[in-house]
Amino acid sequence: MVRGRISRLSVRDVRFPTSLGGHGSDAMVSAHTDPDYSAAYVVIETDAEDGIKGCGITFTLGKGTEVVVCAVNALAHHVLNKDLKDIVGDFRGFYRQLTSDGQLRWIGPEKGVVHLATAAVLNAVWDLWAKQEGKPVWKLLVDMDPRTLVSCIDFRYITDVLTEEDALEILQKGQVGKKEREKQMLAQGYPAYTTSCAWLGYSDDTLKQLCAQALKDGWTRFKVKVGADLQDDVRRCQIIRDMIGLEKTLMMDANQRWDVPEAVEWMSKLAKFKPLWIEEPTSPDDILGHATISKCHNRVIFKQLLQAKALQFLQIDSCRLGSVNENLSVLLMAKKFEIPVCPHAGGVGLCELVQHLIIFDYISVSASLENRMCEYVDHLHEHFKYPVMIQRASYMPPKDPGYSTEMKEESVKKHQYPDGEVWKKLLAAQEN
Amino acid sequence: MVRGRISRLSVRDVRFPTSLGGHGSDAMVSAHTDPDYSAAYVVIETDAEDGIKGCGITFTLGKGTEVVVCAVNALAHHVLNKDLKDIVGDFRGFYRQLTSDGQLRWIGPEKGVVHLATAAVLNAVWDLWAKQEGKPVWKLLVDMDPRTLVSCIDFRYITDVLTEEDALEILQKGQVGKKEREKQMLAQGYPAYTTSCAWLGYSDDTLKQLCAQALKDGWTRFKVKVGADLQDDVRRCQIIRDMIGLEKTLMMDANQRWDVPEAVEWMSKLAKFKPLWIEEPTSPDDILGHATISKCHNRVIFKQLLQAKALQFLQIDSCRLGSVNENLSVLLMAKKFEIPVCPHAGGVGLCELVQHLIIFDYISVSASLENRMCEYVDHLHEHFKYPVMIQRASYMPPKDPGYSTEMKEESVKKHQYPDGEVWKKLLAAQEN
């Protein structure tokens, strides 16, 4: 089925001026500049005559997107003029080629800008592959035989915890009951939680209003951003707990705001609000700082958090890790340690992408929904051609072929930085 | 003494075509593309009429330098139009501003491309400051009172191991005997070891010849690159040990080539050559992978390596960490754990810069030379205005004001990528 040679790769800097509304503000960014949710948006084309394009994104916060765009261009020669068949036929080798480029590796490796760029490129490849197969990515993964799945994973630096044989064994066990779980997902969807109510930039009134609406819409799990001001946090957590009651689930996210002793002290003051977890209390590099849940930049960091038993929940990210490939390795390690995966989402497109991974995880790997849920933020979905569908606070499995990464061309054009219509106006207004 | 407002920041992509000669090849890069030693080269100017410029570099391997250049430009607005007095008067605040930019932080934080760019910018600031004070950076640091030194350090994420008070105490103790150690440095220099003899790309004959010459020049400490092929490593280590004898010091560097089990097995085969250390056996992110010595990307990683007792030697880098500021915090943590610091150097300019840090470390912090030495590679020094001076296998303290970061304008012009004379010729030749 797989066909064509990659004949073109384009990448665009797409920014949404979210800083104007205080959406997406957390403790780290609100202390400085508010974020403009953005993406480096990659489109790859082939010489096949089917007209199918692969679209990939990585999420960014505004400034710096141009740096990621620059890194995507630096990676482009690894993709151009390759047959898609050769790429996915030796996906591990291709992943290794991208992440171990002798010269580019120095400015990573497998972290920060180059890894975000790698994710954008690989996300486009997965989108293209799934579209050619006529399946959404989650279904492509679910239907793939374990050996092929494992051949997509680079085990470098994790074999002390997960070998190829371990991975195969987990995936083979996951075949049992798969059909039923797939049916269940299609009928009920994957449980989600909402972060949309409680950004730091919102007034108490907005907070209350959004919370009331979310309850009406059937949400039972809520996340609140904390960490900028303790008194403020106490007041806001009180408001939310009063509204949602004790039986509903509340999570907290400090977005790397604290040092280790500070985190311990601060959280002792917030413990009475019974958070299920505290997310990113300190530096994402601090394995020994014992995060309860953490977004990490690669599988090596996740491996250690699991080894050190520093995680009670594990938070994958579709754009910070090296696409589906690296996320597969992390899902399998989490299964080995029996740690529930609760993906990070929100931003631009993170919900669209990560739903594929978590639905696959349930059907083929974890086979459990206990203590599991996927973040949801009701934001910017209108710019996607195949936006997420939420029903009864659950992600309904996408049915369109691909990775749900494709943006509407009109949205991209309008929001290109700095020459799109939206930015031209904003920048002109700033100058006046 | 400090004066002027930063009126201009320029950054250039400077590459040396070292891949043509096989210099600088290690296990990671030789498997792929050979490196072209390169730098993002930053120059800042002020409106003071002294004509003094601050020069800063960060080291890269060729491709990707343009990505770092792009990131420097993204940081430039934090520097431009600031008074140098205000920057160095609250250097901790300025460091925090650069590393915690609300939007740019996402594409790091404090790692990879943005951190390399931060280092280049801050290195230029330190060069400017020292030049205005008429002192080399090491002397500026040695003469600085402990409170001011500490005010340059961002303690975020490390206070569980090193507080401001701890740092002050260490520095105050370091005052004892400082004058004598400074004299000693000026007379004898800081012990160095050489990596120039044993790159992977060299033939056995070249290896022997370089080794013989190094012995003649008085070198007593040697590092060999390993990790690509075990039989090859055994043969090369045998050659070197045969030439240098058992009483001289040999170190090995695997440049992140192995998984943890592989590292253990491989090194058991090389143990008979009695290496003092094995450098970067596995991923630099793998704290629990127990490296003996490791180059790390920020103070948070170093902190954990010290906490986990995973390091027996600690390897700072003048361009991967956030300049003098972050290196200060790492030197102080190393002192607290009594782990010897043996800096990483080589590349372009790394020797020039890091000598300032290690000489300061000896005079004001560690007060010991036991098990301590600084890497030296005899390479590309001719492009610097104030090149390192090695005498009797020791770094002689530089006397020119600044951070030894300034490159010869002619060299920069010639090697600018892709428009400098050297690259124009090479690229034209490639096309034919």
The answer to whether residues A88 and A129 touch, using CB atoms and an 8 Å cutoff, is yes
Q: Are A62 and B114 an interchain contact pair (Cβ–Cβ within 8 Å)?
A: no
Nearest Cα residue in chain B from A64 = B104
User: Mind telling me the catalytic residues of B?
Assistant: 225, 344
pLDDT of residue B23: 61
pLDDT of residue A31: 38
Q: Are B67 and A74 an interchain contact pair (Cβ–Cβ within 8 Å)?
A: yes
Q: Are A34 and B102 an interchain contact pair (Cβ–Cβ within 8 Å)?
A: yes
Rounded Cα gap, residues A422 and A42, in angstroms: 20
pLDDT in tens, B333-382: 999 999 999 999 999 999 999 999 999 999 999 999 999 999 999 999 99
pLDDT of residue A296: 81
- For B231, residues 6+ apart whose C-beta sits below 8 A from its C-beta are none
What length does chain B have?
Answer: 432
- For B355, residues 6+ apart whose C-beta sits below 8 A from its C-beta are B138, B190, B345, B374, B388, B395, B397, B398, B404
Contact residues on chain A for B286, CB-CB shorter than 8 A? 157, 300, 303-304
Q: Are B156 and A259 an interchain contact pair (Cβ–Cβ within 8 Å)?
A: yes
Rounded Cα gap, residues B383 and A219, in angstroms: 63
The answer to whether residues A132 and A2 touch, using CB atoms and an 8 Å cutoff, is yes
What is the separation, in whole angstroms, between the first and last Cα of chain A? 55
Q: Which of A102, A111, A113 is the closest to B32 by Cβ?
A: A102
Q: Which of B60, B102, B304 is the closest to A288 by Cβ?
A: B304
Say whether residue A113 is in contact with chain B using an 8 A CB cutoff: yes
Nearest to A323 by CA among A34, A107, A56: A56
Cβ within 8 Å of B, A 66-85 = 66-68, 70-71, 74
The answer to whether residues B168 and B150 touch, using CB atoms and an 8 Å cutoff, is yes
Nearest Cα residue in chain A from B159 = A259
Say whether residue B61 is in contact with chain A using an 8 A CB cutoff: yes
Say whether residue B109 is in contact with chain A using an 8 A CB cutoff: yes
Q: Are A157 and B283 an interchain contact pair (Cβ–Cβ within 8 Å)?
A: yes
pLDDT of residue B29: 47
Contact residues on chain B for A112, CB-CB shorter than 8 A? 107-108, 111-115
Nearest Cα residue in chain B from A34 = B102
The answer to whether residues A400 and A198 touch, using CB atoms and an 8 Å cutoff, is no
pLDDT of residue A30: 42
As for the ipTM of the complex, it is 0.92
pLDDT of residue A201: 82
Rounded Cα gap, residues B241 and B256, in angstroms: 23
Cβ within 8 Å of B, A 229-268 = 256, 259-262
Burial class of residue A59, CB neighbours in 10 A (0-12, 13-18, 19+): buried
* Interchain CB contacts (distance < 8 Å): A and B: 216
From first to last of its 432 residues, what are the pLDDT tens digits of chain B?
A: 899 999 999 999 999 998 886 566 676 544 335 899 999 999 999 999 999 999 999 999 999 999 999 999 999 999 999 999 999 999 999 999 999 988 999 999 999 999 999 999 999 999 999 999 999 999 999 999 999 999 999 999 999 999 999 999 999 999 999 999 999 999 999 999 999 888 888 899 999 999 999 999 999 999 999 999 999 999 999 999 999 999 999 999 999 999 988 999 999 999 999 999 999 998 888 887 767 777 788 888 888 888 888 889 999 999 999 999 999 999 999 999 999 999 999 999 999 999 999 999 999 999 999 999 999 999 999 999 999 999 999 999 999 999 999 999 999 999 999 999 999 999 999 887
Cβ within 8 Å of B, A 116-135 = 116
Contact residues on chain B for A28, CB-CB shorter than 8 A? 100, 102, 105
Per run of 10 residues, the mean pLDDT along chain A (length 432 residues) is 96 94 60 78 97 97 97 98 98 95 91 96 98 98 97 95 97 97 98 91 93 96 95 96 96 92 92 93 82 80 86 93 96 96 95 98 98 95 98 97 98 98 94 80
pLDDT of residue B20: 82
What is the separation, in whole angstroms, between the first and last Cα of chain B? 55
Amino acid at residue number A393? A
pLDDT of residue B351: 97
